[in-house]
Amino acid sequence: MGLFDKFENITASLNVIEQQCCAFFNIIIEEILSATEAVINGRRVILAGTNNYLGLPLRKECKEAACRAIEKEGTGTTGSRMANGTYSSHVALEQDISDFYGRSNTIVFTTGYSANLAMLSTLVGPKDIVLLDADCHASIYDGCRLGGVQVYRFRHNDVDDLEKRLKRLRKQDTNILIVLEGLYSMLGDRAPLREIASVKEEYGAYLLVDEAHSLGVLGNRGRGLSEEAGVEDAVDFIVGTFSKSLGSVGGFCTSNHKELEIIRYASRPYVFTASSSPANIAAAKAALEIIRREPQLRERLWENADALYGRLKEMGFRVGPEPSPIIPVRFEEVARAFSAWNRLLDQGVYVNMVLPPATPDGTALLRCSLSAAHTMEQVEKIAGAFSAVRDFE
């Protein structure tokens, strides 16, 4: 058996995809024109699949902060946080995140992926139990694998199934960590966090919420679903990323457990990864300040999200279970998703195409993600492009 023979099934799938949707693997963002537009294949298109929820990567304050950081501290740290990679800016951002969430301790990681990898491979171990929502992100699953923890899944957003498993597992007399997301990245639905927090308290478990897609999007101050649901005190650990609403690269965990600091010394993804570049840290810091002082960005985002969700639902598309800045359009047949994605691009609209097994229910979906930077005219153009796809079919 050859070294690459194990990839034969993947290769076969890729060949099928290339035959039906050759442009899918050749998408290059040739030029960024604005927070919502770019040039792809030589054509101007509306970007409706970027996770750029608040339109901050091109904000003047964020770009200027990143430039100042490069001038002052250079393009990279050349070391991990445990070696020479902790600058005063890293510590200042950790303090800002703690202040934003009203928590005592925060650790900043190099990416959002490594934040989950670090926390879930270190916080819990082989003698502990993780109960996670079945639709959790790959980084959560990978962190659990790295730590060798016992993993049990409960059905997506099913509080009764969670409680049933808690009843059975608490007999093992060990630590149980419940893990879920605030806003799920494929279907755009919220976790029933108030009910989950109540069950967590009843059974004496710990609770970690990944607010990657809900930071800056949910809550009166943009602190995510934990704030919106009014259960922040019941959430032991909040993990998040800089790569969505903050428009940078990096991740974090914030908590009121003073023992969080021990993770710095015990976590391999923290100890052995080069720290975030000064530009990324500075941009995230500036973006966090904008989120704090401009709640109107969040309001504008939801106006856009409600408008597109309503239009697509009226057209008869099978969308997600609730309005959200993440709006999936689901297809039972992969070939129809390929066709629709190609035709949307021809109409000047770029969205994400997600195929099984990455989708929660095995269907193919076109994933729209809206931004506060989209104008209502652009939202209408996106809806119009979907209308043309529907009429063609």
206-210 and 237-241 beta bridge pairing: parallel
Residue 236's domain comprises: 60-293
In a domain, 54, yes or no: no
In a domain, 7, yes or no: no
CA–CA separation, 32 vs 44, rounded Å? 10
In a domain, 256, yes or no: yes
In a domain, 3, yes or no: no
Residues 200, 260 share a domain: yes
Please list, in sequence order, all residues whose beta carbon lies within 8 angstroms of the beta carbon of residue 72, skipping any fewer than 6 positions away: 278
Q: Among the three residues 293, 316, 340, which one is the final residue of a domain in this structure?
A: 293
Residues 353, 236 share a domain: no
Between the alpha carbon of residue 243 and those of residues 97, 218, 305, the distances in Å are 15, 16, 20
Please list, in sequence order, all residues whose beta carbon lies within 8 angstroms of the beta carbon of residue 294, skipping any fewer than 6 positions away: none
Prior bond of 269 cis (ω within 30°): no
Residues 115, 90 share a domain: yes
Q: Cα dihedral angle (374, 380, 386, 390), rounded to 10 degrees?
A: 170
Residues 314, 288 share a domain: no
- Structural contact between residues 342 and 203, judged by C-beta atoms closer than 8 angstroms: no
Long-range contacts of 363-366 (CB under 8 A, 24+ apart): 363/330, 363/331, 363/332, 364/330, 364/331, 364/332, 364/333, 364/334, 364/336, 364/337, 364/338, 365/186, 365/328, 365/329, 365/330, 365/331, 365/337, 366/328, 366/329, 366/331, 366/337, 366/340, 366/341
Q: How many structural domains comprise the chain?
A: 2
pLDDT of residue 1: 77
Q: What is the DSSP string of 44-85?
A: EEEE-BS--TT--TT-HHHHHHHHHHHHHH-S---SBTTTT-
How many C-beta atoms surround the C-beta of residue 242 within 10 A?
29
Residues 325, 281 share a domain: no
CA–CA separation, 70 vs 146, rounded Å? 34
Residues 305, 282 share a domain: no
Residues 328, 288 share a domain: no
Residues 191, 108 share a domain: yes
> What is the three-class DSSP state of 16?
helix
Q: Among the three residues 254, 269, 293, which one is the final residue of a domain in this structure?
A: 293
pLDDT of residue 390: 81
Q: Where do the H-state alpha helices sit in 123-204?
A: 138-147, 159-169, 193-203
pTM over 0.75: yes
Residues 210, 78 share a domain: yes
CA torsion through residues 32, 349, 297, 211, sign: negative
Residues 187, 42 share a domain: no
CA atoms within 13 A on the CB side of 50: 28
Tokens standing for residue 184: 């799920």
**Residue-by-residue pLDDT tens, the chain, 393 positions:** 789 988 888 888 777 777 666 666 678 999 999 999 999 989 999 999 999 999 999 999 999 999 999 999 999 999 999 999 999 999 999 999 999 999 999 999 999 999 999 999 999 999 999 999 999 999 999 999 999 999 999 999 999 999 999 999 988 889 999 999 999 999 999 999 999 999 999 999 999 999 999 999 999 999 999 999 999 999 999 999 999 999 999 999 999 999 999 999 999 999 999 999 999 999 999 999 999 999 999 999 999 999 999 999 999 999 999 999 999 999 988 888 988 999 999 999 999 998 887 788 778 899 999 999 999 999 999 999 999 988 655
Task: Tell me which residue has tokens 């597109």.
Answer: 308
In a domain, 247, yes or no: yes
In a domain, 253, yes or no: yes
CA–CA separation, 120 vs 147, rounded Å? 7
Residues 154, 86 share a domain: yes
CATH of the domain at 117: 3.40.640.10
Q: Cα dihedral angle (360, 366, 367, 368), rounded to 10 degrees?
A: -160
CA–CA separation, 155 vs 31, rounded Å? 42
pLDDT of residue 391: 62
Residues 152, 272 share a domain: yes
Q: Among the three residues 260, 276, 293, which one is the final residue of a domain in this structure?
A: 293
CATH of the domain at 301: 3.90.1150.10
Tokens standing for residue 350: 């770029």
pLDDT of residue 8: 87
Residues with catalytic annotation? 185, 213, 244
